[in-house]
Structure 1
């Protein structure tokens, strides 16, 4: 049987933390559920999920559709697209059967690359390898989530680059339907012996924007400046968490004029604080951003997502972030040193080391 290989190459960097990542987890499950009802896809589709942040890894091995279990997506620091492409190419070499004079190999693989940021590693070697040996024999669909990816770079990987408008009504549900319909369409095409360009479904109006008309946002000093992200550790449970603040950029005037007025001078508003596992460090690069955010540029103080402590942005003298219940003597869970913590007065702000997003 000739298989139809499908790879999901998913950006799980810190900027994806929160609703986007949850929706993608649910979405992969919905795609699988839909495809299992399609006789063509059920017969030939094999799926794999590769996650990448500062590093890349396969979170679900190449698996036949009926036996595929949608994974829990991890989180990491950085957006190492070069490492992700290298890992993808190695997985293609390992799992996809090529056609030879003596046998028919698998159908042309389909890859859905989903990313929302600029690469934080050197993409050039992987890009050259891709265009030399893989681009002509796979179908890569590059999706810029919210228009935040490096569109120029994505166009160097594939002709199929689209911008997913994640702020549209019911955006993720409609987007997942589009992916499912595209895979179903390709399944029918290869069943009829047509193994060419990916047969993408027609998208609903307002969901996928042509890349040429989307305004991307360049990174600031090697970080994704749409967000300010921080890695903390719970003082009680010793488990990591990620706090994400979002840059204002004129989005809140109508919905929250009071907050919008504050953000005329203070740049970031609290978006979410989510618990992560120790696997966060396995997927994070070790370089760090080398950048910081002034504490008074952050609006909102999250609770610890692990223990519920009132303040999740306490900063130790070692420079690391952790949670505290209130003022007074506390032990840092990073360095195990005891310090005296208090509330900074207005004008007494300080720099806080940020992640790369």
Structure 2
């Protein structure tokens, strides 16, 4: 079984972020090109913060035809943006279950190594409607909402373009409705926002003890979303 990588020589508390990215056929052409460019912006920007580059850890899960982990959790200073391609259906629920598993394994690795950590983030970006079976969708939504009820994760659903199922995406977060991205040209601005947001969380003085029960949230003011979000 896959064991998340944790650098035991880095004693800094960790801020894990799982990126669940739609790579279905509808993302072909300009959307996937803009998504790849945005990921590269994120990879470059987050390395600029001397503390966040050691504390933030990033994992990428894609869902296009099938859900798969294309980049395992690793410190931001080592994160290389994967080159994504588009094709297939939209198994979003399968990706959620995989993302939850990846986060749980990573948290277990932190605990085993005596590392403190911030509440993990899950960013879910989709331009359509999930094509999973009804039972898989129910399982994924229930598991995601249960994790949030335990204060074990913070979820940011993002709808891309006019065909995104904003109603479904909004069911994924218990704290906020899904945000609509202005257009695919906004991917770069979104990932700039994410880089700054992760950096702000990473430099916070509030972290979760490795032996904590309910995980505590980090109350930091995130930057405005005006540059990438639809009104």
Q: TM-score, normalised by structure 1?
A: 0.53
Whichever of the two has the greater Rg, that structure is 1
Q: Distance in 1 between matches of 2:130 and 2:220?
A: 25
Q: Distance in 2 between matches of 1:197 and 1:47?
A: 21
Q: Distance in 1 between matches of 2:84 and 2:168?
A: 25
Structure 1, unpaired ranges of 5+: 211-357
Q: Distance in 2 between matches of 1:162 and 1:80?
A: 20
Contact 1:51 1:74 in 2 (8 A): no
Contact 1:97 1:106 in 2 (8 A): no
Q: Distance in 2 between matches of 1:203 and 1:16?
A: 23
Q: Distance in 2 between matches of 1:60 and 1:82?
A: 19
Gap change, CA 1:183 and 1:77, over 3 Å in 2? same
Contact 1:139 1:198 in 2 (8 A): no
Residue 153 of structure 1, CA deviation = 1.8
Contact 2:21 2:124 in 1 (8 A): yes
Structure 2, unpaired ranges of 5+: 1-10, 208-216
Q: TM-score, normalised by structure 2?
A: 0.79
Contact 2:148 2:154 in 1 (8 A): no
Higher helix share: 2
Please say if 1:124 is aligned against 2:141: no
Residue 171 of structure 1, CA deviation = 2.8
Match of 1:217 in 2: none
1 or 2 for the larger relative contact order (CA 8 Å, sep ≥6)?
2
Q: Distance in 2 between matches of 1:153 and 1:89?
A: 18
Higher strand share: 1
Query: What root-mean-square deviation, in Å, do the aligned CA atoms of Structure 1 and Structure 2 show?
Result: 2.4
Q: Distance in 2 between matches of 1:39 and 1:25?
A: 24
Q: Distance in 2 between matches of 1:89 and 1:58?
A: 12
What are the Cα deviations for residues 289-333 of structure 1, in whole angstroms up to 9, with x where unaligned? xxxxxxxxxxxxxxxxxxxxxxxxxxxxxxxxxxxxxxxxxxxxx
Question: How many residues are aligned here?
Answer: 204
